[in-house]
Amino acid sequence: MKRPDGRNVDELRKIEAKAGIIKRADGSASFKIGNTIAYAAVYGPRNLYPRFLQNPEKGILRCNYNMMPFSGSGERIRPGSSRRSKEISLVTEKALLPVINLGEFPNSVIDIFIEFPQTDAGSRCAGICAASIALAEAGVPMKELVAAVAVGIVNGEVVVDLSKEEEDMDGAVDIPIAITTKSNNISLLQMDGMIKQEDIKKAIELGKKASQKIFELQKKAIKDKYNV
């Protein structure tokens, strides 16, 4: 089956990843997948204020997901926080936490700001991919990277990296997943739609394979930054 944009079922959209794009930040990255563009900027580890939020045992990770007002499909997106952006910020934190050792940073915070000038589905996954590169560039000790991609069902077939057009099709199922790149653990799995048990297994396998391709591009972005 060919997909609306001509891709094969296991084919990702074109990806471009870059580290070190925001010089003022401690770490930063862009991650473009098709028409979805994510920028991530990391500040910290730095002292956490107000002080009563500090934990002397370990630091905290704080993610902020934000779609820019013009980043949807034409209608202005109301600036500021929404239920959706709060949820995505939270799941982004949870997807990244397993690879970071916050025990090394008592009383501290690592802030990650993730902004989207343009989206065409898969934005939470693109944000996680960008944030993971930015954390590495910031020098935050990480056990491994995190790669993320949406998998799901389009026209009854298991596919990887759904576009907005595909996500909006009747019967489509959208499953964003994040995979830790060495131990191959799942650190995010959400689902929108109904899927058969055998299909979800197939979809996760497809996602794991795709995440290895993404991992290679994330690694390349970091290496390119340091010319190694």
Give me the residues that bind ligand ADP (CB under 6 A), please.
72-73, 75, 77, 119-124, 150, 164, 167, 174, 176
Q: How far is the CB of 76 from ligand ADP (least distance, A)?
A: 9
Count of CB atoms within 10 A of residue 117's CB?
13
Phi, psi of 221, rounded to the nearest 5 degrees = -60, -40
- Cα angle 221, 88, 220 (rounded to 5 degrees) comes to 5
Name which of 111 and 166 has its Cβ closer to ligand ADP. 166
Name which of 84 and 143 has its Cβ closer to ligand ADP. 84
Name which of 23 and 78 has its Cβ closer to ligand ADP. 78
Q: How far is the CB of 139 from ligand ADP (least distance, A)?
A: 28
Name which of 77 and 142 has its Cβ closer to ligand ADP. 77
- Cα angle 87, 91, 93 (rounded to 5 degrees) comes to 120
Q: How far is the CB of 108 from ligand ADP (least distance, A)?
A: 29
Name which of 109 and 147 has its Cβ closer to ligand ADP. 147
- CA distances to 23, 122, 130, 220 from 20, rounded to whole Å, are 6, 22, 11, 13
Q: How far is the CB of 83 from ligand ADP (least distance, A)?
A: 10
Which residue has the closest beta carbon to ligand ADP? 72
**43 Cβ neighbours under 8 A, 6+ residues apart:** 25, 26, 110, 111, 113
Q: How far is the CB of 162 from ligand ADP (least distance, A)?
A: 8
Count of CB atoms within 10 A of residue 135's CB?
26
Cβ contact 218:145 at 8 Å: yes
In the chain, where does DSSP find H-type helix?
Answer: 83-96, 123-137, 164-167, 197-226
